[in-house]
């Protein structure tokens, strides 16, 4: 049966189109402006499609800023942090979900408790401590790695997943003589690939996007991440009205995340559903 | 349903029957083995977690009772910082007020927008999958890029937003982030834009648990779309709505990065929220002790709402 276009359906589509415009026009404007000469970004009336295309913004940005270094730093951070978080998080989650020992539940409660505390509440003691022990007074990529890699969130997410795997599976492996480490490596890890993917993607994106931590710790240009660098570049570019360049930089900073998101959409949604809703 | 799950069941109680000594010995040996084994799994994460998160949180309470400047060590003060905070500091009052202002508008606005979006998208329509992706995209975009784009979109004279407003007949469109009156609404708008896709996902998950028979029955009884929404959808969504409300409230109380990148608390102090004040006090003015006292207030605000969420969840789970 072919459905006819009732007023209700027209309203529905109108609502959807309006919502989509609100959500996506800023991105569209960002991409279109990144292809304009500087003076064409602010015109009256607004031009959504560039009149003169200037893709050279995407070439000039590499010489007019330290984009390359910032991207390299951010990539190193994101990869190392994700690897550490995946390993320590899934390992600890196994301990919390499969091994019974006194004090375990109290310990896990401490993990959960800190999830409710925002970083800005304890950033001061943390910063003062790190500034003392880290190389260069905290101004090094190592600080950010340490800051991000041992989050409670990963432990929580992996534990939630492990608890959906039937206990009998590890029981029978135990009877077959597999050690706890063996059960973790040969049974739990292979079964938890979807959860690992969710946690990996979320951690990577969070580390890539993190601004406040790097802004606080990293003070010298060669150590900047893409977010800190872009923010500094914004000030220069706005002063010199280099808006085309600024938008090209913004697009470059978002692009890797956009690609990862398109490829791993399912895992993002699952990760959020697990951490947000179950329990 | 909650963000934070309680650890599943207490350890199995040891049998009450007295044991033979050898059996008891074996038991305690097993227990020791399990403890060591458990810790060996947890330790790699725990060491980092304790040093980076746990210790600073505990230290915060000590430092909030000290005088601690840029130079030298912290000196014990007692509760002086808190006394100053609550009685003699107009900036704190402003920050608290601004945070409440943000919360009071951002929470209902985002709730309504994400619920509306979820209801729109919870059906088989052409392009729904695309819309869902689109709605979620702002949430994973970096805050710096978002601030750059929105600050320019909202620029008073030439920005596209004000051009559209003028086109629609608004003669004197707001100055947004450069105006003390409109900077906060601008941040609220961008905050809603950024987060609505995330909460939409939670609402979509909730909507999918509503049995279709309920709608069929309501239809048979002659209920129109509006009535079905208020008398079927809303009651069934109550747990999700509550959860989202609390999450949004906590998120608003601690709002920081968005403010930091869009206005850094300005113009003047018009968008100075609690988190921004902590940063300002600590890392701009070098007054770590007093800044820690403000951080303690933020800590308790977040704790309060988490406990409320936790208690209501438990009641509804029973």
Pick from A76-85, A101-110, A167-176, B42-51 the range whose average pLDDT is largest: A76-85
What ipTM did this prediction achieve?
Answer: 0.87
Q: Is the pLDDT of residue A1 over 60?
A: no
Q: Per residue in B125-150, pLDDT tens? A: 777 777 887 888 898 899 999 998 99
Same domain, A191 and A247: yes
* CB-CB neighbors (< 8 A) of A45 in chain B: 163, 167
pLDDT in tens, A127-170: 999 998 998 888 999 999 999 999 888 999 899 889 888 888 88
B residues 76-115 near A, CB within 8 Å?
none
Is the pLDDT reported for residue A84 higher than 70?
Answer: yes
Are residue A134 and residue A227 in the same domain, yes or no?
A: yes
Tell me, yes or no, if B241 comes closer than 8 A to chain A by beta carbon: no
Q: In chain B, what is the greatest distance between 2 CA atoms, to the nearest angstrom?
A: 90
Q: Do A30 and A86 belong to one domain? A: no
Q: Report the chain B residue with the minimal C-alpha distance to residue A229.
A: B144
Domain ranges of chain B: 21-63, 90-317
Question: Would you say B302 and B250 are in contact if contact means Cβ atoms under 8 Å apart?
Answer: yes
Say yes or no: A64 and A44 in one domain: no
Per-residue pLDDT of B222-268, as tens digits, reads: 888 888 999 999 998 988 888 888 889 989 999 999 999 999 887 88
Total beta-carbon pairs less than 8 A apart between chain A and chain B: 288
The mean pLDDT value of chain A amounts to 87
Q: Are residues A165 and A185 in the same domain?
A: yes
Co-location of A39 and A137 in the same domain = no
Our CA-based measurement puts residue A113 at a distance from the nearest CA of chain B, in whole angstroms, of: 9
Which residues is B66 bridged to in the sheet? Answer: B76
Give the fold, CATH level 3, of B90-317. Answer: MetI-like fold (1.10.3720)
Q: What is the pLDDT of residue B52?
A: 92
CA torsion, ordered A223, A227, A231, A234, to nearest 10 deg: 110
Interface of B with A in 161-200 (CB under 8 A): 163-164, 167, 193, 196-198
* Co-location of A113 and A48 in the same domain: no
Distances (CA, A) of A149 to A226, B24, B140: 19, 41, 19
**Which residues pair with residue B67 across a beta bridge?**
B75
Compute the residue count for chain B: 318
Name the pLDDT band for B20 (thresholds 50, 70, 90). Answer: low
Kind of pairing, strands B66-67 and B75-76? antiparallel
Please check whether residues A79 and A46 belong to one and the same domain: no
Same domain for A109 and A37, yes or no, is: no
Q: Any chain B CB within 8 A of the CB of A205?
A: yes
CA-nearest of B223, B220, B243 to B232 is B223
**What pLDDT does residue A262 have?**
86
Give the whole-number percent of chain B exceeding pLDDT 90.
38
Q: For the segment A201-242, what is each residue's pLDDT rounded down to a tens digit?
A: 989 999 999 999 999 999 999 999 999 999 999 888 888 888
Q: Kindly state whether residue A2 falls inside one of the protein's structural domains.
A: no
Q: Is A104 a domain residue?
A: yes
Complete DSSP assignment for chain B: --SSPPPSSPPPPPPSS---HHHHHHHHHHHHHHHHHHHHHHHHHHHHHIIIIIHHHHHHHHHTTEE--SSS--EE--SHHHHHHHHT-HHHHHHHHHHHHHHHHHHHHHHHHHHHHHHHHSS--TTHHHHHHHHHHHHHS-HHHHHHHHHHHT-TTT-HHHHHHHHTT-SS---GGGSTTTHHHHHHHHHHHHHHHHHHHHHHHHHTTS-HHHHHHHHHTT--HHHHIIIIIHHHTHHHHHHHHHHHHHHHHT--HHHHHHTTT-STTTT--HHHHHHIIIIIT--HHHHHHHHHHHHHHHHHHHHHHHHHHHHHH-
pLDDT band at B316 (very low <50, low <70, confident <90, very high): low
Give percent of chain B with pLDDT exceeding 70: 92
Tokens of A16: 């959807």
- DSSP label of A50: -
pTM of the model: 0.87
Q: How far away is chain A from the Cα of B26, in angstroms, using its nearest Cα?
A: 15
Whether A36 and A172 share a structural domain = no
**Per the omega criterion (within 30 degrees of 0), is the bond before B267 cis?**
yes
Handedness of CA B34, B36, B41, B42 (dihedral sign): positive
| Residues A165 and A235 reside in one and the same domain | yes
Confidence grade of residue A47 (pLDDT, cut at 50, 70, 90): confident
Sequence length of chain A is 279
Q: Which residues of A touch B204 (CB under 8 A)?
A: none
Chain A CB within 8 Å of residue B141 CB: yes
Q: Please give the structure tokens belonging to residue B317.
A: 């789970």
Same-domain status, A222 and A258: yes
Mean pLDDT of chain B, nearest integer: 85
Distance, CA of B4 to CA of A162 (rounded, Å): 16
Span of A266-275, B88-97, B136-145 with lowest mean pLDDT: A266-275
Report whether pLDDT(A277) > 50: no
Question: Residue A183: inside a domain, yes or no?
Answer: yes
Would you place residue A5 in the very low, low, confident or very high pLDDT band (cuts 50, 70, 90)? low
* B149 with A29: Cβ contact below 8 A: yes
Look at residue A212 and give its three-state secondary structure: helix
**Which range marks the domain in which residue A41 is found?**
7-54
Contact A117 B282 (CB under 8 A): no
A1 in a structural domain: no
Q: How many domains does chain A have?
A: 2
């Amino acid at each position: 049966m072919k459905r006819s276009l009732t007023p209700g359906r027209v309203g529905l589509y109108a609502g959807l189109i309006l919502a989509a415009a609100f959500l996506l026009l800023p991105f569209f404007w960002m991409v279109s402006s990144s292809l304009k000469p500087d003076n064409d970004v602010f015109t009256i009336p607004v031009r959504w499609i560039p009149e003169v295309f200037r893709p050279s913004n995407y070439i000039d940005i590499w010489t007019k800023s330290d984009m390359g270094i910032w991207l390299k730093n951010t990539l190193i951070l994101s990869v190392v942090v994700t690897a550490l978080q995946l390993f320590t998080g899934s390992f600890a989650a196994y301990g919390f979900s499969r091994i019974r020992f006194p004090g375990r539940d109290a310990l896990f409660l401490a993990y959960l408790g800190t999830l409710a505390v925002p970083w800005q509440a304890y950033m001061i003691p943390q910063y003062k401590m790190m500034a003392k022990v880290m190389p260069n007074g905290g101004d090094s990529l190592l600080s950010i790695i340490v800051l991000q890699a041992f989050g409670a969130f990963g432990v929580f997410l992996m534990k939630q997943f492990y608890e959906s795997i039937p206990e009998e599976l590890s029981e029978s492996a135990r009877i077959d003589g597999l050690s706890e480490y063996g059960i973790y490596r040969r049974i739990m890890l292979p079964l938890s690939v979807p959860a690992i993917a969710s946690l990996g993607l979320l951690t990577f994106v969070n580390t890539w996007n993190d601004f406040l931590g790097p802004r606080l710790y990293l003070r010298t240009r060669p150590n900047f991440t893409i977010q800190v660098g872009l923010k500094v570049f914004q000030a220069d570019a706005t002063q010199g009205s280099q808006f085309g360049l600024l938008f090209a930089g913004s697009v470059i900073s978002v692009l890797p995340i956009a690609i990862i998101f398109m490829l791993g959409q399912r895992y993002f949604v699952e990760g959020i559903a697990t951490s947000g809703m179950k329990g | 349903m909650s963000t934070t799950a309680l650890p599943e069941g207490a350890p199995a109680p040891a049998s009450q029957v007295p044991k033979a000594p050898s059996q008891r010995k074996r038991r305690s040996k097993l227990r020791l083995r399990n403890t060591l084994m458990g810790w060996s799994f947890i330790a790699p994460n725990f060491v980092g977690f304790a040093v980076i998160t746990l210790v600073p949180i505990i230290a915060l309470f000590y430092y909030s009772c000290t005088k601690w400047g840029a130079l030298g060590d912290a000196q014990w003060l007692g509760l002086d910082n808190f006394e100053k905070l609550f009685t003699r500091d107009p900036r704190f009052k402003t920050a608290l007020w601004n945070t409440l202002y943000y919360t009071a508008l951002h929470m209902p606005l985002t709730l309504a927008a994400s619920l509306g979006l979820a209801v729109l998208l919870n059906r088989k329509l052409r392009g729904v999958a695309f819309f869902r992706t689109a709605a979620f995209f702002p949430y994973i975009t970096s805050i710096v890029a978002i601030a750059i784009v929105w600050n320019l979109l909202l620029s008073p004279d030439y920005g596209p937003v004000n051009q559209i407003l003028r086109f629609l007949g608004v003669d004197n469109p707001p100055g947004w982030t450069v105006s003390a009156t409109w900077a906060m609404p601008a941040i609220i708008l961008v905050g809603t834009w950024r987060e609505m896709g995330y909460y939409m996902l939670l609402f979509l998950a909730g909507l999918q648990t509503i049995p279709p028979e309920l709608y069929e029955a309501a239809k048979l009884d002659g209920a129109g779309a509006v009535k079905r929404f208020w008398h079927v959808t809303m009651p069934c969504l109550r747990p999700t709505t509550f959860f989202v409300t609390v999450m949004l409230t906590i998120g608003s109380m601690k709002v920081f990065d968005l403010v930091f990148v869009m206005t850094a608390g300005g113009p003047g102090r018009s968008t100075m929220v609690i988190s921004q004040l902590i940063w300002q006090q600590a890392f701009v003015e070098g007054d770590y002790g007093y800044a820690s006292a403000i951080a303690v207030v933020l800590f308790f605000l977040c704790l309060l709402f988490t406990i409320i969420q936790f208690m209501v969840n438990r009641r509804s789970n029973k």
